[in-house]
Structure 1
Amino acid sequence: MSTSLYSIAFGVGTQNRQGNWLEVFYALPLLNPASELVAKAAEKLGYQGGNQAIAFTTTQAADLAEALKGVDAAQAALLTRLAESHNPLVATFLAEDAALTSTPEAYLKLHLLSHRLVKPHGLSLAGIFPLLPNVAWTSQGAVDLAELAERQLEARLKGKLLEVFSVDKFPKMTDYVVPAGVRIADSARVRLGAYIGEGTTVMHEGFVNFNGGTEGPGMIEGRVSAGVFVGKGSDLGGGCSTMGTLSGGGNIIISVGEGCLIGANAGIGIPLGDRNTVEAGLYITAGTKVNLLDEGNALVKVVKARDLAGQPDLLFRRNSLTGAVECKTHKSAIELNEALHAHN
């Protein structure tokens, strides 16, 4: 068995009455763990290779903690705490970054993103949705929907209230990890699996989905969808929207370069280069016809927005008289057009 793994993590989670995993919390997930740590974990937990989630007991947790004291002090301390758990424990081994096969695996990859160990689209999340059960996220943690009514009654009979915050496949990120150096006005609007870079502020109406996020610093006042990664110093205005799929194309990352401004109620369906501005209320899809203007505002050429994807120093606006979408650049539009022509 190889002791070289893509990732490993020891977690504590919640199961329903049938023993099915609802969620898993990994306090210290590891990317590319040390081979000695993997060998000790494999020996104590019976790992034989491949991508595998192995349930283990508190006794095994204590034994593994002792074995890791001279190998990884942080993981040893974590396992010492897990040995005190009243909830089920699981160790997840990922030999490779492959399609997901279990709920603990899915939660590990979401943790890797929110712990900033991997950037959006830096790992495979194929098959994630069927592996994430739709559960009630409550004041007592995750509850199986089939068990919710009974749990609510039990709480009422004890003079308590079981509050249901949401019914969803994804929990909020801050119940699992709070990255350093961020501000999040409404934690319910950032899902586990979001990558929130240091220096990022997510305002009250901001939203960040899993497998999307911000490099930071920057301010998010609109929506960052799955597959969108916002560069440093960018501002997504209130109500703005971004898409993870280009019109007429396959799923790709919609990246936003450094120093961009996407105005209120604006949106993009193409990657933006550095220092781009999209005026308020303007939604650009890949197939949007754009009038390319030179420095004197003369029309150079009509192009599709996808032809301008990733170009720096662009201003996208709508002509208030004609309604046409226009694009200007701080550089010569003619030179840009020639570069686009050469590229195509």
Structure 2
Amino acid sequence: MSTTLFSLAFGVGTQNRQGTWLEVFYAQPLLNPASELVAKVVAQLGYQGGNQTIALSNSQASDLAEALKNVDTTQAALLTRLAESQKPLVATLLAEDAPLTSTPEAYLKLHLLSHRLVKPHGLNLTGIFPLLPNVAWTNQGAIDLAELAERQLEARLKGYLLEVSSVDKFPKMTDYVVPAGVRIADSARIRLGAYVGEGTTVMHEGFVNFNAGTAGPGMIEGRVSAGVFVGKGSDLGGGCSTMGTLSGGGNIVISVGEGCLIGANAGIGIPLGDRNTVESGLYLTAGTKVALLDADNNLVKVLKARELAGQPDLLFRRNSQSGAVECKTHKSAIELNEALHAHN
């Protein structure tokens, strides 16, 4: 049996009355765990290979804690705490980064992103949506929607309110992990699976989806959609949006380089290079016709925005008289045009 795993985590979660997983919390997920640790876990759990989720009893968690005492004190301490749980426990072992097959696997990969162990689009998330049940997120945790009405009545009869903060497939990230060195004005706007880099500030209207995020430091005042990764020192203005999408196989990645500014109510559908600026209110799709200007504001050529993807030091703006989308660069537009031509 191989002692190499892609990821390993011990979790505690919530199941409905039929024993179906609603969510799983992994306090200390591991990426590429040490072979000595894996060997002990394999021996204790009878793991036979592949990607598996194995239900843990409290006694098994306690035995695992004892077995890992001289191998990994952090995981041993966690298992000692888990052995006291009154909620269901699970060990999730991923031999490879393959398409998802269970809810605990899906939650493990979302944790790997929010713990900053893997950057957006660094994981295979194929099949994630059917594996994430749509649940009520309440002040008593996740509740199956079919069981919600009864739980609400039960709470009222006992004299308290069962508060439902959202009904969604994804919980908010901060109920599972709060990354170091961040400021988040409204935690409900950051989904589990978001990558929020150190030094990032997310203002009240900022939103970061799963499998998206920012390297930090930077300011997020708009929406960072799935498929978007923002570089260091960038500022996404209020109301700005991005057009990255996530699909099984052939993911579209919209990256934003370092030191970029995307103005209020602006949007992008192309990757940006370093130090790009997109004027407020300008929605730049891949097919947008862009007038490339030289240093004297003379037209060099008209091209589609995708041809400028990833280029540094660009300013995208709309001509206030003609309405045409224009692009200027700190470099010679002629040199940029030659570089694009050579690349093609």
TM-score class normalised by the smaller sequence: over 0.9
User: Which digits, 9 at most, give the CA deviation of each residue in 1:209-260, with x for residues without a partner?
Assistant: 00000000000000000010000000000000001149xxx64210000000
User: Which digits, 9 at most, give the CA deviation of each residue in 1:259-285, with x for residues without a partner?
Assistant: 000000000000000000000000000
**Aligned residues with identical type, % of pairs:** 87
Asked whether 1:332 is paired with 2:332, we answer: yes
Aligned residues: 341
CA–CA distance in 2 between the matches of 1:290 and 1:272?
15
Partner of 1:290: 290
Partner of 2:214: 214
Partner of 1:309: 309
TM-score with structure 1 setting the length:
0.98
CA–CA distance in 2 between the matches of 1:327 and 1:111?
39
Post-superposition shift, 1:20? 0.3
Q: Does the residue aligned with 1:201 lie in a helix, a strand or coil?
A: strand
User: Which digits, 9 at most, give the CA deviation of each residue in 1:93-150, with x for residues without a partner?
Assistant: 0000000000000000000000000000001000000000000000000000000000
Counterpart code for 2:105: E
Post-superposition shift, 1:39? 1.2
CA contact (8 A) 2:197 2:214 kept: yes
Alpha-carbon RMSD: 0.8
CA–CA distance in 2 between the matches of 1:193 and 1:296?
46
Post-superposition shift, 1:72? 0.2
CA–CA distance in 2 between the matches of 1:263 and 1:280?
4
CA contact (8 A) 1:245 1:269 kept: no
Q: How does 1:68-79 map to 2 (within 5 A)?
A: 68-79=68-79
CA contact (8 A) 2:258 2:275 kept: yes
CA–CA distance in 2 between the matches of 1:46 and 1:111?
25
CA contact (8 A) 1:220 1:236 kept: yes
Asked whether 1:106 is paired with 2:112, we answer: no
Counterpart code for 1:181: G
Partner of 1:157: 157
Q: How does 1:139-158 map to 2 (within 5 A)?
A: 139-158=139-158
Which stretches in structure 2 are left out of the alignment for 5+ residues? Answer: none
Which stretches in structure 1 are left out of the alignment for 5+ residues? Answer: none
CA–CA distance in 2 between the matches of 1:38 and 1:155?
43
Partner of 1:194: 194
Asked whether 1:178 is paired with 2:166, we answer: no
CA contact (8 A) 1:56 1:89 kept: yes
Q: Which moved more, 1:175-184 or 1:42-51?
A: 42-51
User: Which digits, 9 at most, give the CA deviation of each residue in 1:37-59, with x for residues without a partner?
Assistant: 11111111121100000001000
Q: How does 1:1-344 map to 2 (within 5 A)?
A: 1-245=1-245, 251-344=251-344
Cα separation, partners in 2 of 1:245 and 1:335, compared to 1, 3 Å: farther
Q: Does the residue aligned with 1:91 lie in a helix, a strand or coil?
A: strand
Counterpart code for 1:137: W
CA–CA distance in 1 between the matches of 2:58 and 2:130?
29
User: Which digits, 9 at most, give the CA deviation of each residue in 1:159-209, with x for residues without a partner?
Assistant: 010000000000000000000000000000000000000000000000000
CA–CA distance in 1 between the matches of 2:40 and 2:24?
22
User: Which digits, 9 at most, give the CA deviation of each residue in 1:292-344, with x for residues without a partner?
Assistant: 00000000000100000000000000000000000000000010001101111
